[in-house]
Amino acid sequence: MDQKTLTIDGVELSFDPRQTIMEAAAAAGVYIPHLCHHPDFKPHGSCKLCTVKVNGRFASACTLPAAEGQEVLNKTLELNQLRTRITQMLFVEGNHFCPGCEISGHCKLQATAYGLGMLDSHFPHFYPARRVDASHPDIMLDLDRCILCELCVRASRDMDGKSVFGIAGRGMESHLVVAAESGALVDTLIEVSDRAAHVCPVGAILIKHTAYEKPIGQRRYDHHPIQAALLQEDQGD
Amino acid sequence: MTDLMTHKIRIATTSLAGCFGCHMSFLDIDERFFTLCEHVVFDRSPFTDIKHLGEHVDVGLIEGGLCNAENVSTLREFRDHVKILVAVGACAINGGIPAMRNHIPLKECLEESYLVAVGIDSPQIPNDPELPLLLDRVRPIHEVVKVDYFLPGCPPSAEVFWTFLTDLMAGREPQIPEAQIHFD
Ligand code: SF4
Ligand code: SF4
Ligand code: FES
C-alpha cells in the first residue's frame, strides 16, 4: 500500500487519510501551536492559533484534512508573529493577571505565550467587567479568563451528555453561559467528576480546594519545554 | 551610548504603581552588582535618591503601571530623557494586580477603602492637594509612551535583569531566552 506523505517545514512525514494536518503533525512529533484543539474532541477551528500555510495559503491545521503532497509551513517567523498577535489579543480582551491566578504555571494560554516568546501585550487592555460564579460547592467559574475555546461546551455536550455550557451573544458580546434558569453553576447538572470540569485550558473553570497545590518550580510548564509538554499531552495527555 | 564623563552607561530607575518587588529582584543579582557598577552609573533611582533625571541617560527601567497623575508625569520625564525605555514587570506591562480595580468605579473603590471597610475610624476620603489625583483606571505604560523593551515577570527574576543588562553592556540586542520568560 502506498504511504501518503506531506511536508511540514520541508520535512516529509506520512499520514493516515482520516487525519487533519494537526493530527498528522502531532503523530509525527511536530508541535503546531493551538488552544481550541484537543485530541479528544471534534475540531472547532476558532482560535486560529494553529494557522499554517498550506501550498502558500493560510489554513487552520486543526480543521484542514491532511492530503497528499501538501507543503505546509509551520515554524516560520511570519506565522509565529501572527500567532503572537492573536495570543496578545486573547490576553487584552480578558482579565489575565497571572501573578494572582490559580492556574498559573499549568495554563496553556500562558505556556503558549512563553513558547512564542511573547513579552508584552502590545494592544491596549480592555479590562472588561466579567462574571465570577462561586455558587457551586466544587467548581468555580471565573469568566475573566475565558477565551471562548468551547472545549467545556464540547465536553459537556459530547462526553458528559449534559450540555451545561453554551456561548451566548455575538462578537465582542460573546460570553459563556450555563444551562440554568438562575444562571448559576450550582443549578446545573455539572459534577466535579465531569470531563467538562477539567478540560478548560485556562483558569476559567477551576476545581475548588486544589489551587496552588504545586509550588512554583514544580508546575506543569515550569521547566518542561512548553512545546514538548503540549505535544506529549496531544499524543495521549 | 556612554556617560560623557565616565564612559559608563547611565541608568535611571523608578517605581510607579508597583510594590518595589522588581527593584528588590534587581538587587538579587547580588555580587554581580560590583561587576555592573564597573560598567554603569545610576542616575535618578531609589538607589541614589536623585529626584530628577539628568540630561543624558541611556536606559530607564520603569517598575509599575500608572495609577495617578504623578505616575504619568514621571513616566513622561523618563521618556523625554532616556534613550531606551524598559517596562519592567507585570504591572508596567499590563497594569498587574493594581489593575484588578479597573472594573470597579473609582468612587466605589475609595468609599470601600476609606468609608465603609471594617476597622476605620474617622472615615474620610483623603483630598489633600499634595496627593496626586488617581486615574479612573490603572494603565500599563505602553498605552501612554513608546516602550523599547519589556522584561516580564512578577517580579522578573534576577537572571532576567542580568541577561538584559549584560546584553546591553556587550552592545548586543537584548534577548530574553524562553526559559526566563514568566508572567508570575
Ligand atoms: S488563565 Fe492563564 S493566562 Fe490567564 S491569568 Fe491565568 S495563568 Fe495567566
Ligand atoms: S470556560 Fe474554559 S473551556 Fe470553556 S470556553 Fe472558556 S476557556 Fe474554553
Ligand atoms: S487550534 Fe486550530 S483554530 Fe484553535
Is A127 found in the same domain as A201?
yes
Contact A199, A151 (CB under 8 A): yes
Measured CA to CA, the distance from residue B144 to residue B112 in angstroms comes to: 28
Q: Do B100 and A115 touch (CB under 8 A)?
A: no
pLDDT of residue B90 exceeding 80: yes
| Structural domain ending residue among the three candidates A57, A75, A93 | A75
Q: Is A237 part of any domain?
A: no
Span from the CA of A143 to the centroid of ligand 2 (angstroms): 8
Q: Could you read off the pLDDT of A178-221 as tens digits, one per residue?
A: 999 999 999 999 999 999 999 999 999 999 999 999 999 899 88
| Structural domain ending residue among the three candidates A51, A75, A99 | A75
Is A69 found in the same domain as A148?
no
ipTM of the complex: 0.93
B147 touches chain A (CB under 8 A): yes
pLDDT of residue B1 exceeding 80: no
Which CATH number do you get for residue A16? Answer: 3.10.20.740
Ligand 1 and A87: CB distance under 6 A: no
Contact A15, A6 (CB under 8 A): yes
Q: What is the pLDDT of residue B3?
A: 54
Ligand 2 pocket mutation pick from A47, A150, A174 by most atoms within 8 angstroms of CB: A150
Span from the CA of A235 to the centroid of ligand 2 (angstroms): 21
Ligand 3 atom having least distance to the Cα of A61: 2
pLDDT of residue B65 exceeding 60: yes
pLDDT band for position B6 (cuts 50, 70, 90): low
Q: Is A236 part of any domain?
A: no
Q: Is B131 part of any domain?
A: no
Is A153 found in the same domain as A119?
yes
B92 touches chain A (CB under 8 A): no
Is A90 found in the same domain as A202?
yes
Q: Which of A117, A120, A129 faces B93 most closely, judged by CB atoms? A: A120
Give A188→chain B minimum CA distance, Å: 27
Measured CA to CA, the distance from residue A212 to residue A219 in angstroms comes to: 9
Q: Is B102 part of any domain?
A: yes
Nearest to B147 by CA among B70, B68, B60, B23: B60
Tell me which residue range forms the domain holding A155.
Answer: 84-228
B184 touches chain A (CB under 8 A): yes
Q: Transcribe A36-91 into DSSP letters.
A: S--TTS-----S-TTEEEETTEEEETTTSBP-TT-EEE-S-HHHHHHHHHHHHHHH
* Structural domain total, chain A: 2
Helix axes A108-115, A77-93, angle to 10 degrees: 140
Q: Could you read off the pLDDT of B152-164 as tens digits, one per residue?
A: 999 999 999 999 9
Ligand 3 and A32: CB distance under 6 A: no
Is A129 found in the same domain as A56?
no
Is A41 found in the same domain as A106?
no
**Chain A residue numbers touching B176 (CB-CB < 8 A):** 117, 119
pLDDT band for position B4 (cuts 50, 70, 90): low
Low-confidence residues in chain A, pLDDT < 70: 1-2, 225-226, 235-237
Q: Could you read off the pLDDT of B8-31 as tens digits, one per residue?
A: 999 999 999 999 999 999 999 999
Is A101 found in the same domain as A215?
yes
Q: Is B122 part of any domain?
A: no
Is A116 found in the same domain as A41?
no
Is A144 found in the same domain as A58?
no
Q: Do A125 and B94 touch (CB under 8 A)?
A: yes
Is A67 found in the same domain as A14?
yes
Q: Is A233 part of any domain?
A: no
Is A96 found in the same domain as A172?
yes
pLDDT band for position B174 (cuts 50, 70, 90): very high
User: Which residue of chain A is at minimal alpha-carbon distance from B103?
Assistant: A129
Give A160→chain B minimum CA distance, Å: 34
Which CATH number do you get for residue B84? Answer: 3.40.50.700
Which CATH number do you get for residue A110? Answer: 3.30.70.20
Please work out, in degrees rounded to the nearest 5, the angle formed at the alpha carbon of residue B89 by the alpha carbons of B85 and B91. 100
Would you say the C-alpha torsion B58, B150, A100, A186 has a positive or negative sign?
Answer: positive
Ligand 3 and A151: CB distance under 6 A: no
Q: Do A121 and B142 touch (CB under 8 A)?
A: yes
Q: Do B103 and A118 touch (CB under 8 A)?
A: no
Q: Is A234 part of any domain?
A: no
Measured CA to CA, the distance from residue B60 to residue A18 in angstroms comes to: 55
Ligand 3 and A54: CB distance under 6 A: no
Ligand 3 atom having least distance to the Cα of A43: 2
Is A119 found in the same domain as A26?
no
**Chain A residue numbers touching B18 (CB-CB < 8 A):** none
Tell me which residue range forms the domain holding B168.
Answer: 9-117+136-180
* Structural domain total, chain B: 1
| Structural domain ending residue among the three candidates A75, A95, A111 | A75
Span from the CA of B183 to the centroid of ligand 1 (angstroms): 9
